[in-house]
Every structure is written in structure tokens, then in C-alpha cells.
Amino acid sequence: MTSRKLLGFAALLLAAAGSWYLAGSLREPLEAPPPQRSAGEGFYLRGVRILGTDEQGKLLYEIEADYAEQKPNREIEFENVEIAYSPEATVPWTLIADSAVIGSDQRRVILSGHVLAVNPEGPNGEMTEIRTPYLEFEPDSFRAETDSRVQIRIGSRSLTATGMLALLQENRLQLKSNVSGKFVP
């Protein structure tokens, strides 16, 4: 190999190394990974079953969900959640939602997504269904309330309204506004 060819090869090698270095330094930095949570900051669970008790410690309701996670603000978020009262509570309602949040005070459950409340023992033995995108539920006081649009079906009868207060233990619904319905004899 002649010195001229060797000098040309060295120049090509130097140019390749310089372009590789320059390309690497111009590349955008990768996003930093999210900070890892320490063991004391909360929890997450799959296949969740949480039991709620009354003041005497008796089973009042149970919450089942596919996933639950405690956030740093101490709220607990659930995915694919179902809440049912125990048979001893004599409240036949079951609530189902895409997601739910229990606040840090643990008195109110905020249900959202496709929320469905079902009572198979409605008036005259007909099933009652309530559908809404958002529902604030207080299991200890048997109350459910929303200012969102609701659709209520009792057997073949149907009502829609904006806003509702449901007193589940009393099987009583109070519609707030824009009530319209369809009743078939």
C-alpha cells in the first residue's frame, strides 16, 4: 500500500469518525424516565375486593375492581368497578362503572364512565336501571347524586332527566330538571 493510499484511507477514517461523533451529539436526548415511587407512597392492586363496614363493624357493602391504585394525594382510583350492598343491608342496588375514585376522607365514591345502577327488585318486581356518565355515591348514607344527564328504565318505562338524587335504602329517586319520559301501558 502506498503512502498516498494510506493517507487517503486515514482521511476517510477520520471523516467517518467525525461524522459519527457529530451525529451522536446532535441527537435529541431521550426523555427521562418517570421517578420511581418509594414503598411508602401508596399501593396498587389487581383483582381488588374491598369490604366496607357499618358503625357496628358489620359488612355493609363490597367493592370489586380489576385494578386499584393509591395516588400520592391518598385518593384511591379503581378501574372496572362494581359496588354491591350486603344482603343484610336490605339495599338491593348494585353500581357498576368504568372507573371510580375514593377520596382521602373515604366517605364518597365518584363513579365515572359508563355508570349503571341496577335494582332487580324495583317497583312491582320490575328491574330498575339508572345510567349516567357521572355519579357521586355515599355508601354509608345510601345516597347517589349527579347533575349529569340520567336515563332511568323501570321495566318498559323510560325517563330521562338532568340531575338526580337517589336514596337507595328508601328506593326513592328525585329528578332535578328537564324530565321527559315514555310510558307504555
pTM for this one?
0.73
Is the model more confident about 20 or about 171? 171
pLDDT at residue number 87 = 86
* Rounded CA separation 34/149 (Å): 38
The domain spans of the chain are 40-182
Is the model more confident about 15 or about 125? 125
Cell numbers found for residue 93: 342496588
Fold (CATH) for 40-182: lipopolysaccharide transport protein A fold (2.60.450)
pLDDT at residue number 34 = 54
Residue 52 pLDDT more than 70? yes
- Confidence bin at 21 (pLDDT 50/70/90): low
Q: Chain-wide mean pLDDT for the chain?
A: 84
